[in-house]
Structure 1
């Protein structure tokens, strides 16, 4: 219990520092890039090129492989997450996002925090049977601080990383979640979205179901893009071509649609504000961001950037929700509330992308002060999208099923 609290506090500090540094420098560099207009095309190249040289010279050409690294070390007790994974994921995730790489820092944070737990285990700070518990304690804290939700961190560790529940896991993750809760209360207790839910209507249910099915389809589209583009870039032996082909393409997309810069949370805030203040955001804009965000994220990862599917899934799902609400209001006079549909879309897309309906439900409900008013439609969305995506594709790129498939 004591070691879990210690790991949780270390993971919380790591996540907090990476979150705040990334937010500050992402906005700072985006403002600089905006002043030079076409120069923004080069920004992702700067970040990913820096990552390439760091990987080659500082980290001895050892690549980061995301959550699959955690699965590997949990499956093979003698395999460990080496300590360099902490600076590697921390720095690479930071550089990817602040220079416009269209992913997020969530997966980088998860693996780095898991490495803290693994390091505590390797130092024989507790019994040898508690490797999974300490790794999950680190993961709990990382996700909890990123989204200001200890419960979401707890569920993510159980649902996605451990994929089981037992007494010792519950104790370790709960201790870490409590440490994270204390850290959040002292340093970062504001919800990520400052809007409030007014209400929702049962007559919107058919549109919620349609949105959920489309979100499952969006997650499958994202998974196929990531696997195919990573496979395609893996065939390019020339490092210069591989890095610049992906990074310059991402830069060109950002030049055309600046909302694709970095994790795109600021762009989502702006569009949500416009939709709430004066509904009428262009259908084409909402559709193009919904489709291009997964593409930009896949190209970023293919070129060598660090990151995962958290931010792209949340952002593209939210834009899809706004699109469904806009179409429903324009052509069916449905009187749908855009904010509600953005949240349901974000939760549904994240649920299908991570194979984690419970985590997605709690995480999205905690984005707003009174987000649990949407508990029923968000729960519906996460479950429908999860099962529908499983019917279309039995795995996603960050699932344990995909890890087993790749391993075979």
Structure 2
């Protein structure tokens, strides 16, 4: 009975929404309609961010209450417990795999698969609250971006808009979520342009800006917290060469972090058993947090202590705290923390936790800036303002890691209030981006996607259009199928009823055994005496190559060119499905190119 009531309520809401949509479309302009939807998305995504931050705070309070003595052993096990609870929630309550990270969102947008599941409007909130709230070494930005995107996508589906508008509203949700979680509306809009929608039209800027601003206002109204407190200072012109050196160091560290993150991502992906992931990842994460407590959680508290000049705080609760009076021990400890933060973050996600790379990047950049400035000061080369270098270091690592220097600049300016540091932020971010781009042309989000043939940057137009093609949609199934035991006479009968000149030979289990071309049997067709003595298995031969339904379009086109083929068979789980023709690929390519030209 309750289920029937819920169904009736849902239908009533859908009818009401349909009437509201019709009324709006008749009474307001298209531009105002988009702005109104952007405001709604911003409000909902902002509330989602408030719920996420509140949930993390409550989980953290429960954790602290359960460990009143602040035992270090307790803090070692809390992150592992959080990840276990996250895995339990995804596997037994959500009951489907949850795509984690910004990479899958970039992939979904590039493939035009913007219908995100409804449960992702809340699943990331629950799972990330458990992971981050209990001390996982990651941040909330990726879960809230995915949550906001799901909110935008599902609202767009309810409004029955086209694919291009649905993509825009999805991105509005992502920007609103990021703006709300960090209180950084400008950086959120730039992130949307730099990372998610690199080829979006400029007229989409207004809905994105309004959505991000709305999300930030809602979050600030209900749950305002200043993440970092940067002492007000003015940078010195004499420090510019040192900002340049820090920028180079940030570039190199971001390359190190990216390679390490992706390596461990692949390492954990190869381990199929969750028990094995917990054993390896849990042991590694536990040891690292025990030796280096700043790796616990996002690490923002440690960064704030560094901002205030409490440098020994980085060794607090560690076995090295007794040596915190020696600044060189503190520096060496900070170096170890920076080098292991990427491993801790990768282990957290690899075991099944939900979080993003922004927090590890911001933390690592801050500690690197501290190491650089305090070392220069201790050596006596000059005197640098350490807090300034902590702030610009954040932007440097972020710019190098996600290949989005403007996002790094404005994010740090907004979350620290360090607007007077724009010039140092620009220097460090630009140099970090340049150095990291030299070694790693793609971001931590897109590197794997690019080399797997699942994504292409906007300047590679041909490759990008290929990524929009869906191989399954190109399969042609109107081919007459032969059996190996068929006789020549049966083959002739099949040929007479077929409009194709290619014939797949498939066994009773659906396995492709070979192919036949009409030209290969043309002469035999006129020899009736062989109709009963010659079999298809005597005439068939292997195709030049075969395609898999999961194969990338780049690989498909490469096979067409390499084998000079016009039709290739395609398999799914080793079973024959049909053929893909080069002409159908080119036809679909031209169709997409024309459509995008008309929409731009």
Could you say which residue in structure 1 is the equivalent of 2:373?
Answer: 325
Distance 1:197 1:81, change over 3 A: same
**How far apart are residue 87 of structure 1 and its match?**
2.5
**How far apart are residue 31 of structure 1 and its match?**
6.6
Distance 1:348 1:23, change over 3 A: farther
Could you say which residue in structure 1 is the equivalent of 2:397?
Answer: 349
Distance 1:28 1:88, change over 3 A: same
Render the CA deviation track for 1:246-303: whole Å, top value 9, x for unaligned.
1232122112221111111112212332348999581112212211211110111111
2:371 corresponds to 1:336 = no
Whichever structure has more strand as a proportion of its residues is: 2
Bigger Cα displacement from structure 2, 166-175 vs 214-223: 166-175
Q: Which residue, 96, 107, 122 being the options, matches 2:131? A: 96
Gaps of 5+ in 1: none
Count of residue pairs the alignment pairs up: 406
Bigger Cα displacement from structure 2, 212-221 vs 193-202: 193-202
Higher RCO (Cα < 8 Å, 6 or more apart): 1
Bigger Cα displacement from structure 2, 221-230 vs 36-45: 36-45
Instruction: Give the distance between the partners of 2:311 and 2:284, measured in 1 at CA.
Output: 32
Could you say which residue in structure 2 is the equivalent of 1:379?
Answer: 426
2:227 corresponds to 1:192 = yes
| 1:154-233 equivalences in 2 (<5 Å) | 154-188=189-223, 191-233=226-268
Does structure 2 retain, via aligned residues, the 8 Å contact 1:344–1:377? yes
**How far apart are residue 3 of structure 1 and its match?**
1.0
Could you say which residue in structure 2 is the equivalent of 1:16?
Answer: 50
Gaps of 5+ in 2: 1-34, 314-324, 455-551, 553-600
RMSD across aligned positions (CA): 2.2
Bigger Cα displacement from structure 2, 49-58 vs 305-314: 49-58
Instruction: Give the distance between the partners of 1:156 and 1:50, measured in 2 at CA.
Output: 31
Larger radius of gyration: 2
**TM-score of the two chains, using structure 1 as the length reference:** 0.93
Q: Which runs of 4+ in 1 moved over 4 A?
A: 30-34, 275-281
Does structure 1 retain, via aligned residues, the 8 Å contact 2:180–2:215? yes
Could you say which residue in structure 1 is the equivalent of 2:352?
Answer: 304
Instruction: Give the distance between the partners of 1:46 and 1:186, measured in 2 at CA.
Output: 32
2:71 corresponds to 1:36 = yes
Does structure 1 retain, via aligned residues, the 8 Å contact 2:180–2:220? no
Does structure 2 retain, via aligned residues, the 8 Å contact 1:196–1:368? no
Could you say which residue in structure 1 is the equivalent of 2:5?
Answer: none
**TM-score of the two chains, using structure 2 as the length reference:** 0.64
Whichever structure has more helix as a proportion of its residues is: 1
Could you say which residue in structure 2 is the equivalent of 1:359?
Answer: 407
Does structure 1 retain, via aligned residues, the 8 Å contact 2:79–2:135? yes
2:310 corresponds to 1:263 = no
2:328 corresponds to 1:293 = no
Instruction: Give the distance between the partners of 1:160 and 1:41, measured in 2 at CA.
Output: 34
**How far apart are residue 335 of structure 1 and its match?**
0.7
Instruction: Give the distance between the partners of 1:30 and 1:246, measured in 2 at CA.
Output: 23
Does structure 2 retain, via aligned residues, the 8 Å contact 1:26–1:262? no
**How far apart are residue 19 of structure 1 and its match?**
1.9
Bigger Cα displacement from structure 2, 52-61 vs 329-338: 52-61
